[in-house]
C-alpha cells in the first residue's frame, strides 16, 4: 500500500509539474499568451477534486519520502538513489517561497499571481528568487523523472514508448527555461508600459505589504522542515543502534562478508561491492534481487506484506526471499545464492515474459 501511494502521489505531482512547464514554454511567444493559457493548464487542479488531490499528494509524497529515509538501513546507496534522495529533500525549501508568492499569496494577501507579476518579480525585483525558481524547476523535474523511470522501465510497454519519452525528458524543461528567459526579457522591456505595470502591481503590491508576515511564515516552515528531517535522522540512528551484533553472509559463488546487523541483503551486497541485480532500486517491486537462502532461513524475520506480495507474484519457492527487503538479525550466519544474473536488465524480463506461454507478473511487470 505504501509503495502504491508513493507512486500514485508522485504521478499526480509529476502531471502538475509537466503542465506548469509546458505552460512556461509559451513564454517564447509572449507573457500575454502565458497568462491566457494559465487557466487552461490549471483547470484540472482548480476544481473541488483536483485541488484537494494535489494538496494531499504533495503532503503524502513528502511524508512517505521521510518515512523511506527513516527505514533506510544504510546511507550507502547507488548514485541514482542518492541523487533522487538529495533532490527530493531540496525541493521543499526551494519551493516554499514560490508557493507563498502564488497559491498561498492569493489566499492570504489577495494577490493576483499573473505571469506578468511573477516574472517581473523574478527578473526585476528579486533576481535571486528567479534563480531559486530555476533550481527548483530543474530539481523537481529530475527527481520526478528518476522516480518514474525506475517504475516504467520494468513495464512491458516501456520499450514501445521509450523512444518518445527520452526526447520529452529533455525538451520539456529546456523549452520551459527558454520560455521563462524570453518572457523575463519581455517583462524587463515593458517596465515603462503603464498598463503592464498596473497588472504587475495587482500581484506584487499585496505581497509587498505583507512581506514581513510572509517571511515569518517561510522561516517557520523551513525551521519545521529542518526539525522534521533531524527527528527522522535521530530516530533512524536510534533504531539502527538497537540492532546490535554482526552478521556473516556467505555467497554461494563467494565472497564471505561480515557486517553489523541492520542493512538488508541487497544493501550488504552494495556496501561490499558484490554485484547484485535490483532494477527497482530496492523498493520490493521487481523481484530481480531475489536470493535463495541455502542456510539460515529461519534466522530471517518474516516477510513483510510488500515482500510477500512480490514473492507471490513471481511464484517464488519458500526458501526464496527478496534481498532488498530481508534484513538479517545480529549474531546470525546465512548462505545465499543470487537467483538472477547480477547485471539483469529490464529487456531480459520482457524477453522472458514473451517466451512464456502464460502471463507472467514480476513485481508490477505485466
Domains of the chain: which residue ranges?
2-239, 246-355
Most confident of 170-179, 208-217, 257-266: 170-179
Alpha-carbon distance of 213 to 306, in angstroms, equals 45
More confident residue, 305 or 28: 28
User: Closest Cα to residue 338, out of 285, 270, 283, 245?
Assistant: 270
Residue 13's Cβ-side half-sphere holds a number of Cα atoms within 13 Å equal to: 25
For residue 143, is pLDDT > 60?
Answer: yes
What is the pLDDT at residue 366?
32
Q: d(Cα 121, Cα 100) in Å, to the nearest integer? A: 13
pLDDT at 350: 62
CA dist 349 and 154 (Å) reads 8
pLDDT at 356 over 80: no
What is 246-355's CATH number, 3.10.20.30, 3.80.30.10, 3.30.420.40, 3.50.50.60? 3.10.20.30
167-204 pLDDT, tens digit per residue, is 999 999 999 999 999 999 999 999 989 999 988 888 88
Question: Is the pLDDT confidence value at 2 over 70?
Answer: yes
On whether the pTM is more than 0.85, the answer is: no
Q: How far apart are CA 222 and CA 220, in angstroms?
A: 5
Bridge-based pairing of strands 246-251 and 333-338 is: parallel
pLDDT above 50: residue 364: no
**Range with the largest mean pLDDT of 191-195, 313-317, 319-323:** 319-323
Contact 122, 184 (CB under 8 A): yes
Q: Predicted confidence band at 357 (pLDDT cuts at 50, 70, 90)?
A: very low
Fold of 2-239: 3 helical TM bundles of succinate and fumarate reductases (1.20.1300)
Mean pLDDT of 341-348: 83
Name the range with the highest mean pLDDT among 46-55, 119-128, 149-158. 46-55
Q: Is a pLDDT exceeding 50 seen at residue 361?
A: no
Contacts of residue 313, Cβ cutoff 8 Å, sequence gap at least 6: 287, 361, 362, 363
Amino acid at each position: 500500500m505504501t509503495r502504491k501511494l508513493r507512486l500514485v502521489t508522485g504521478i499526480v505531482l509529476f502531471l502538475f509539474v509537466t503542465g506548469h512547464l509546458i505552460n512556461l514554454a509559451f513564454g517564447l511567444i509572449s507573457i500575454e499568451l502565458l497568462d491566457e493559457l494559465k487557466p487552461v493548464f490549471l483547470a484540472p487542479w482548480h476544481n473541488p477534486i483536483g485541488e484537494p488531490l494535489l494538496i494531499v499528494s504533495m503532503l503524502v509524497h513528502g511524508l512517505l519520502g521521510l518515512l523511506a529515509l527513516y527505514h533506510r538501513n544504510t546511507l550507502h546507496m547507488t548514485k541514482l538513489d542518492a541523487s533522487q534522495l538529495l533532490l527530493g529533500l531540496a525541493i521543499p525549501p526551494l519551493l516554499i517561497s514560490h508557493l507563498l508568492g502564488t497559491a498561498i499569496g492569493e489566499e492570504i494577501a489577495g494577490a493576483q499571481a499573473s505571469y506578468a507579476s511573477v516574472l517581473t518579480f523574478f527578473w526585476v525585483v528579486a533576481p535571486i528568487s528567479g534563480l531559486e525558481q530555476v533550481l527548483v524547476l530543474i530539481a523537481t523535474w529530475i527527481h520526478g523523472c528518476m522516480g518514474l523511470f525506475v517504475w516504467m522501465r520494468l513495464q512491458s510497454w516501456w520499450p514501445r514508448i521509450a523512444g518518445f519519452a527520452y526526447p520529452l525528458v529533455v525538451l520539456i524543461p529546456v523549452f520551459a527555461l527558454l520560455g521563462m528567459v524570453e518572457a523575463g526579457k519581455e517583462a524587463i522591456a515593458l517596465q515603462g508600459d503603464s498598463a503592464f505595470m498596473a497588472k504587475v502591481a495587482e500581484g506584487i503590491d499585496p505581497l509587498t505589504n505583507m512581506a514581513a508576515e510572509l517571511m515569518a511564515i517561510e522561516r517557520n516552515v523551513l525551521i519545521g522542515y529542518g526539525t522534521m528531517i533531524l527527528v527522522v535522522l535521530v530516530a533512524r540512528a536510534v533504531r539502527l543502534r538497537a540492532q546490535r551484533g554482526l552478521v556473516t553472509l556467505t555467497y554461494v559463488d563467494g565472497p564471505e562478508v561480515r557486517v553489523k546487523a541492520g542493512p538488508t541483503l541487497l544493501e550488504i551486497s552494495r556496501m561490499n561491492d558484490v554485484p547484485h541485480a535490483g532494477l527497482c532500486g530496492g523498493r520490493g517491486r521487481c523481484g530481480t534481487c531475489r536470493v535463495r537462502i541455502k542456510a539460515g532461513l529461519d534466522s530471517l524475520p518474516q516477510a513483510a506484506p510488500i515482500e510477500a506480495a512480490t514473492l507471490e507474484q513471481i511464484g517464488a519457492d519458500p526458501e526464496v526471499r527478496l534481498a532488498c527487503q530481508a534484513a538479517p538479525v545480529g549474531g546470525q550466519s546465512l548462505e545465499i545464492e543470487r537467483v538472477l544474473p547480477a547485471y539483469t536488465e529490464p529487456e531480459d524480463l520482457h524477453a522472458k515474459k514473451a517466451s512464456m506461454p502464460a502471463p507472467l507478473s514480476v513485481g508490477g511487470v505485466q
